[in-house]
Amino acid sequence: MKSVFILADKAWAGSSLLYKWQKSLGNYIAVAGQDNSVKIFDRHGHKWSELSLPGRCVGMDWDKDGDILAVIAAKSSSIYLWDASVNKTSQIESGMRDQMSFVLWSKTGPLLAVGTIKGNLLIYNQQTSRKIPVLGKHTKKITCGCWSVQNLLALGSDDNTLSISNHEGDTIRQTTLRGEPADITFSERKTNERSGQGENTVSLSVENKNLMLFNINDLENRIELTFQRHYGQIVSYRWYGDGYILIGFSHGYFVVISTHIKEIGEELHQARNHKDSLNSVAISTAVNKAASCGDNSIKIHELSELKDISNVITLDDETKGLDQLTWTDDGQLLAVSTQSGTLHVFLTKLPMLGGSFGTRLAYLTSLLEVTVSNQVEGESPVVIQVEVEPTFIAMGPFHVAVGMNNRAWFYALVDGEPGFNKLKDIEYLGTIASMSLNSDYAAALFEGKVQLHMIEGKDQDEKKQMKLFPEDERKGWIICHALTADFLYYGTDAGDVVCVLVEDWETVSSYSHAIGVRKVFPDLNGTRLVFIDDKNAGFLLSPTNATDSCFELPNFSPTITGVLWDNWHADRGVFVAYDDDKVYTYALHKSTIYGPRVVFVGSTALLFSQKPLLLHNGDLTCQTASGKTSEVALSTHSFLKRAGGTQKGPQPELGTQLAQALMLKRFHEACALCKSAGSNTDWAEVGKACLVHMEVELAIQVFRMSSNVGMVLSLQGIQGIEDMNLRAGHLAMFLGEYNLAQDLYLSSGCPIAALEMRRDLLQWDSALMLAKRLAEDQIPFISKEYAVHLEFIGDYVNALAHYEKGMIQDNGFQEHNDACKAGVARMSIRMGDIRRGAAQAIQHPSRILKKECGAILESMKQFSEAAQLYEKGQYYDKAASVYIRCKNWAKVGELLPHVSSPKIHLQYAKAKEADGKYKDAAQAYESAKDWDNVIRVLLEHLNSPEEAVRIVRETQSIDGAKMVARFFLGLNDYSSAIHFLVLSQCNDEAFQLAQQHGQMEVYADIIGPEATQEDYQSIALYFEGEKKHLLAGKFFQKCAQYTRSVSSADVSQALKHFLKCPNTDDNLAVEMAIETVGQARDSSMTNQLIDYLMGESDGMPKDAKYLFRLYMALELYREAARTAIIIAREEQCAGNYRNAHDVLFSMYTELQAQKIKIPAEMATNLMILHSYLLVKVHVKRGDHLKGARMLIRVSNNISRFPAHVVPILTSAVIECHRAGLKNSAFGFAALLMRPEYRNKIDPKYRKKIEAMVRRPDTSELEDETTPCPFCGFQLPQNELLCISCKNNVPYCISTGRHMLKEDWCVCPHCEFPALYSQFILLLETEAVCPMCSETLSVEQIKKIPDCSQYLQTDELDQ
C-alpha cells in the first residue's frame, strides 16, 4: 500500500471531515471541513474546484454516474449541484422552510432525496427538474436513509421510526423502533428458497447497540441481533458476499456474521483488530478486500481469508486517532480522514499495465510512476515519473512509451542518472488501442490501422519516416499487431496475418486464416508467431518458412488472454499462454521424425490478480496489483530445481519431472535426473525421446548408460548419414513406427531401405509390392522367404506357388534354388502329390530334406515311402522304426547294425523271441539294455546260468536276481539262492530259506551293512535259539548300534550272550563284551563285566589286559593308566620288556591326547624301559660309552628287572669296562659277588669279574656337562633331574641324555623329543623311531628353533 497524497487545510484543523469519492470513475474526491466550502480534488491530490457556501456543509452525494455532486449547507434552503464534466456549479431552490439535514442520489435514476430537521422530504428529478415535496414524512430530523435498486427509499429519523417510500414519496410501510436508527442499508438476505427476490431486507443499527434486519414486505417480521457488551458500540457495518455482514465495534473488535437462515447471527470470524478503538470499516468487492481503521493504524484483510491481514498502515503523526474510511468503486484508492482534520489517500490496486522486450520489463508502480527493470541481467531499476495516468505501456530495447487516449510519451533509457530522457510526445489520429516498440520504430494501433514511425527521427523527416497500414482499407480492419527487431506483424478481422519487413516497409508474407485474428505474439526474432482467432483457438505460424504449415495449439483454453515466449537462449521454442488463473506451457518440436509439432507440456496455477510479463528459463515474472513483480516457478520446469539441487517443498515424482524435461527438449537435465535416481526404464524414456528428436549422438550416450548394446551399435551404424529423411526413417524403425519409417525411406535418397525393413519385419506382401516398384531382381528372394513364412503358418498352397516363383534360371544361385526345390518337394507331399515330392527329395543332395519329407510322409501314414526316404538320408533309427510299423522285419534286420535306439532293438528282440530265435533275441535284448529279458532268455531258453549270474552281478538288476534265485532254488543251491534273494531285496524269503536250511550265517554275511534293525534282531533271536552265544551277542550288539539306543535291552542281551561263551571263543567274546559295555556306558553292565574279568562269577580271573581295554573303552584314562602300570610291571617281571614298553608308551600318548597329567611312576618306568631298549641299539652300533651310560641307569634300578638281574649287571660290568668307566664296572662287579648272584654268573665272565673285584681300578671317565633347558645350569648330560630348578628334564629318545634347547627336534609320529644331531646319526643306521617304532627317514626330521612349547613343567602327575 502506497500513500498517494495527503490533504490538510488550515480551515479544517482540529475537526473531522466530510468527504465523498466520485462514483464509478473515482477521479474526484469532494472534501468539506468546518469552513463554509467544499473543495474538489483529482485522484492525484490536485485541487480541481471549490464551492463556497453560505454555511457549513452538512451533506453531499454524487449521482450514480459520478457526473453531478449535490451539496446542502447550514443556513441555506438551496441545493448546490456541481457538474464534473464542465466544472460548473448550479443552485436549486428547495422550497423548504426548515434546515436541510440529509441528501442522497438514487442508485438507478436521476432522483435526489433531501430530508430536513423537521422530518420533511423533497424528491427532485434531475432530468425533468420536477420537485415532489412530502411534508410530515417524519416528526423529527431525518438522519439516515438508503435507496434500493427498485427505487424504494428507506429513511430513519430521530422520532425512532423507519419509513419505506416509493420514488413518488408515498409511504409504503412504516414501523417504530426502540431507539434512534443509524446506517440504513438495503440488501438481499439468503433464504432456503432460491428465488430472485432482489433487495428484500433493510438493515439498521439501533442506538449503536443492536442490529435489526427487516423484511421490506413485512416490517413487523424483524430479526434483532445483539452482541457481547465488551465489544462496545456498533461503529459501522457492511454487507458483502453471499449474505455476510462485517461489523466494526468501538472497542476495536472486527466481527463477521452470516444472515443465512440456518446460521443467523453466528459469528464466523472475530478478531480484536485495534487495541483501544475502532472508528470505521470498509469493503471493496473490486479488490476483494476489507479494511478497518482505529487507534492510528489501518488494517487490510483478504475477504477470501479474513484471518490473513495482508497489510497494516500506521500513521504515526495522527495522535488524535482516525475517523472515516472509504474506497473508490474500482478499489484502487482508499481514503481515510483523521480526527485532526487531514485526509490520507492510499493506492490499494494499480491498473495492471506493463510490457516487456527481451529480458527488460516496464510496469506501473504508482499512478504516475513507471519502473523499468532487468532482473535477469542484473541491471538496477529505473523509475520514470510520467505526466498522466497511462492506459498503456510499451517497452522496447532502448525506449519506453506510455500514453492515454490519442497521445503517447516516449522516453529513452540512458546510462547516467536518472536513467532516462524524455524524448517527445506524439498525438495520433485516434485513441491508441495498443503500441509496440523495437530499437528504432514505434507501431501504434488505432481505429483499425497501424501507424509505423521512427522513434528518434528528426521532425522534418517524420513524414518520410511514417507509414500507415493497411495501405488498402478494403483489406480489412487491423485488430492486433506486434513489432519485433525486423518485422511488423498484424492480424485483421478478415483473418489475414501479415508480416512486414520494417527495413523497407514491404509486405514479406501473408497468411489467410478462416476467421478473424484477435491477437498476435511473435517470438524475439520474429521467425515464429502464435495467434489467437475469434473463436479463442490458438495457432503457431512460421511466416518465414513456407514448408511449415500452421499448427493448432493442443489443449488451448478459450479463456487465454496472452502468450509469452521464453527468452532463455536455449529455449527458443518454448512459450506460455496465460489466463487469469493458469499458465499453460507449450513447446515447439521443430525437428522430429514426425515433422514439426507443438506439444502441451503442462499448466501452473497463478495467484489472484497476477499478470505475466516475462518468461526466462522456466521463471515467470508477473506484475501484481500492488505495483510490484513476483517470480512464479513454472511447475513444468520443476526438474531444473531438482537438477540444480535447490528444490524446496513437495516435488512431483521423478517420472513427471523426466517427462517434462523431455517435452521441453532439455536432454542434459533429463540425463542428470536419471543419473541421480533413474531406473533403466527412465533411461529408456530419455533414449526414446532422443530418437524422436533425431539427437543421435546424445541417444548413443544415453543407451550406453542403460547398457543397451544393441541400440548403441544400431545408432553408431547410422551416425554418418546426412540424408535427414533416411536418418529419420531409421530412427522411426528403431521406435517401431514402421509405416512412418516407410514413408520417410521412400522420400529419402535411398528408398530401397523401405524394402529391406519390410523384409526384416517378415511383412512379405508389403515387401513384394515395394520390390515391384524398387527392385524387381529381389522378387525371387522375397518369394522364397515369403514361402518359408507361409509354410510355417500352414498355408501350403500359397507356399508352393511362392517356392516355384522363387526359382532363378541362373547357376550362380545354386543354394537359393536348392532351398526352393526343397520347399517344392515338401509342399508337393503336403498337397498330396507324393510321387513328385518323394522323387524330388531323393534327387536333392540334402539329408535334412529327406528327414523332413520322411517325417511328413510318416504323419500322413505313408510308412514305406517314409522309411525309404529315412534310409536314403541315413537316418537308420527312424527308418528301422518306420519299417517296424509296417512289419518289414527283414529290412529291420538289415538296418540293425546301424541302429542305436534301444527301443528298436527291443521291438526286434520281441519279434525274434516270438519266432523262437532265442540267441538273436538275447543279443537284441542286450543291445536294448533290457537286462531282465536277457536274463530270462538265458535261464529259460538258453540254459546259461553263468552268463545270467554275470549280468546280474554287473547290472544289479532286482528282477533278474529274483529269476536267478528261483533258478538256484530249483537246483537246491541254497547259499546262491539266498545270495540272489538278498540282491533282489527279498530279505524275508531269504531269511526263511536260511532258517529252513541252516544257512543263517551265510544270510548274515550276505545281508551285511544293508540290514535293518528287524533283520539283526531276527538273526540274533535265531542264534539265541541255536545256543550260538557269540553270534547271538554279535547281532544283538549290531541291533543296539542300529538304534543308537545305548540303554536298550539289546545291549544287555548282547553282554549276556558274550559272557556265556565257552572258553574256546573266550578272547573274541571278551573283546566284544568290552566293546559293547564301552558303547553302553551303563554302570550295572560295567560292574557285571568287571566282576567277570576279576573272576568273581566263575573263580577264574582274566588277563589284566582286558581290564585295561575296558577302562580305555570307557574313557577312564586314570584307571587305565594305573592298570597299564600294573600290566607293564607284570610284563617286566616276566622279562617281556618290549611289551611293557609298548603298553606304557600307548597309555602315555593316550593320556597326552586327552590332556590328562601323566603319572610320574608311568613316566619313570617308561624312561627306564626305554633306556634298557637303547642299550642294544648303541652296542649294535659300537657306541659302547652311550651303551654303558644307559646300562648304569638300568642297573641303578635293577629291582625293576627281577627276571634278568645277573645278565643285566654282567653286561653293565663288561660295557663300563670297555667304555673306560672302571669305577662303575668295579661297583657292579662287587654287586655280582653277592652270594645270591655269584653262582648265576655266566662261567665265561666269572673269573674276569672276580679279578676286577680283587684288583680294583677306580679310575672313571667324567660325564660331560651340558646346560639345563629350563634354567641353563650345567648338568651331566645323562642326568635327568636338575638340582638347580628341580625340574624333570626331557630326555632324548635316541641317546637317553637330557635335551638341549639349541639341538631340539621331535619324532613326527609320537612327538617325543630327541637331540637333532644325535637323531640324524642314529637314523643313518636305523630306519625306525626307537620310541614308537614307526618308520622314519632323515628328511622327516626338522630342527625346532623355539622349543618353549615342549618345556611345560606340569605334564607329569607328581
- pLDDT tens column, 946-977: 566 666 666 666 665 666 666 655 555 555 55
In terms of Cα–Cα distance, which of 1258, 1261, 1128, 1262 is closest to 1200?
1128
Going by pLDDT thresholds of 50, 70 and 90, the confidence category of residue 609 is: confident
Q: How far apart are the C-alpha atoms of 1013 and 159, rounded to whole Å?
A: 127
- Report whether pLDDT(997) > 60: no
pLDDT tens-place string over residues 94-123: 888 899 999 999 999 999 999 999 999 999
Q: Which of the 8 DSSP states describes residue 581?
A: S
Q: Hey, what's the cell of 760?
A: 526384416
Q: In which band, very low, low, confident or very high, does the pLDDT at 830 lie, cut at 50, 70 and 90?
A: confident
Of the pLDDT bands very low, low, confident and very high (cuts 50, 70, 90), residue 1268 is: very high
Q: Where are the alpha helices (DSSP H) in 1101-1183?
A: 1104-1113, 1117-1133, 1137-1153, 1160-1181
pLDDT in tens, 1166-1202: 899 899 889 988 888 888 888 999 999 999 888 888 8
- Residue 181: per-residue pLDDT: 96
The 10 Å CB-count burial string (b at 16+, else e) for 444-460 is: bbbeebbbbbebeeeee
How much is the pLDDT for 1042?
A: 43
pLDDT tens for 1004-1023 read: 555 555 555 555 555 555 65
- Selection from 1222, 1218, 1224 nearest residue 1259 by Cα: 1222
Largest CA distance in the chain: 192
* Nearest alpha carbon to residue 661 among 671, 675, 650, 648: 671
* Contact in structure between 387 and 650 (CB atoms under 8 Å): no
**How large is the average pLDDT for residues 338-355?**
89
Q: Is 1107 exposed, middle or buried (0-12, 13-18, 19+ CB in 10 A)?
A: buried
Check residue 1329 and report its DSSP letter: -
The yes-or-no verdict on residue 871 having pLDDT over 90 is: no
Q: What is the pLDDT of residues 66-77, one digit of tens each?
A: 999 999 999 899
- Cα 900 from chain centre: 57
Judged on CB neighbours under 10 Å (0-12, 13-18, 19+), 1325 is exposed
- d(CA 1172, CA 1215) in angstroms, rounded, equals 13
Whether the pLDDT of residue 1111 is over 80: the answer is: no
Sequence-ordered list of residues with C-beta below 8 angstroms from that of 676, at least 6 positions apart, any chain: 642, 643
Q: Supply the pLDDT for residue 1009.
A: 59
- State residue 1275's pLDDT score: 92
Separation in Å, CA 1281 to CA 237, 461, 514, 959, 1311: 123, 137, 129, 76, 21
| Cα 283 to Cα 237: distance, rounded to the nearest angstrom | 9
| CA–CA–CA angle 622, 624, 627 (5° rounding) | 115
Could you tell me what percent of the chain has a pLDDT over 70? 78
649: confidence class by pLDDT, cuts 50, 70, 90:
very low
Scanning the structure block, which residue is given the C-alpha cell 644307559? 1190
DSSP SS3 for 1263: coil
pLDDT-based confidence at 811, cuts 50/70/90? confident
Q: Which among 857, 906, 902, 900 has a CA at the least distance from the CA of 882? A: 857
Enclosing H/E stretch for 1304 = strand 1304-1306
User: With 90 as the cut, is the pLDDT of residue 31 above it?
Assistant: yes
Preceding peptide of 418 cis, ω within 30°: yes
Give the model's confidence band at 943: pLDDT under 50 very low, under 70 low, under 90 confident, else very high. Answer: low
- Confidence grade of residue 648 (pLDDT, cut at 50, 70, 90): very low
Q: How many percent of the chain have pLDDT more than 90?
A: 36
- Mean pLDDT over each residue of the chain, to the nearest integer: 82
- pLDDT tops 70 at residue 556: yes
pLDDT digits (tens, 9 = 90+) for 392-432: 999 999 999 999 999 999 999 998 888 899 988 999 999 99
- The most confident of the ranges 177-181, 798-802, 1069-1073 is 177-181
∠ Cα 1234 1236 1238 (to 5°): 60
Per-residue pLDDT, 1044: 42
Q: Work out the pLDDT band at 88, boundaries 50, 70, 90.
A: very high
Is 472 strand, coil or helix? coil
* pLDDT > 60? residue 1039: no
Looking up cell 531258453 gives 941
CA 1344 to chain centre: 62
Residue 25 to residue 46: CA distance in whole angstroms: 16
Q: Is 897:923 a contact under the CB 8 Å cutoff?
A: no
Residue 1120 pLDDT class (50, 70, 90 cuts): low
Residue 880's pLDDT is: 65
CA–CA distance, 502 with 492 (Å, rounded to integer): 19
Mean pLDDT of 852-881: 70
| One-letter amino acid of 116 | T
Task: Measure the CA–CA gap between 619 and 632, rounded to whole angstroms.
Answer: 6
Position 1084 pLDDT exceeds 50: yes
Question: Which stretch of DSSP H or E encloses residue 187?
Answer: strand 181-187
How far apart are the C-alpha atoms of 1066 and 1059, rounded to whole Å? 9
CA distance 424 to 532: 33
Q: Which helix (H) or strand (E) holds 185?
A: strand 181-187
- Three cell numbers written together for 684: 529408456
Strand order in the sheet with 88-93: 57-62, 68-73, 78-83, 88-93
Mean pLDDT over 1274-1278 rounds to 91
Torsion sign over Cα 727, 728, 731, 737:
negative
pLDDT of residue 766 exceeding 80, the answer is yes
Cα 365 to Cα 345, 441, 1225: the distances in Å are 16, 26, 137
What pLDDT does 1032 receive? 54
C-alpha cell at 34: 468546518
In this structure, the strands spanning 1356-1357 and 1158-1159 are parallel
Which amino acid would we find at residue 118? K
Which of 1169, 1170, 1243 lies closest to 1210, judged by CA?
A: 1243
In which residue are the cell numbers 484502487 written? 332
pLDDT of 587 strictly over 90: yes
Q: What angle do CA 600, 438, 541 make, to 5 degrees?
A: 30
Whether the CA torsion 1055, 1059, 1060, 1063 is positive or negative: it is positive
Question: Average of pLDDT values for 507-520?
Answer: 92
Residues 6+ apart with CB under 8 A from 389: 43, 44, 367, 368, 404
d(CA 633, CA 518): 28
Interval 218-254: pLDDT, tens: 888 889 999 999 999 999 999 998 889 999 999 999 9
Average of per-residue pLDDT across 576-596 = 91
Confidence of residue 785 (pLDDT cuts 50, 70, 90): confident
**Pairing mode of beta strands 153-157, 142-147:** antiparallel
pLDDT band at residue 1065 under the 50/70/90 scheme = very low
**The C-alpha cell of 693 is what?**
528428436
| pLDDT score at 642 | 63
Over residues 117-142, mean pLDDT: 94
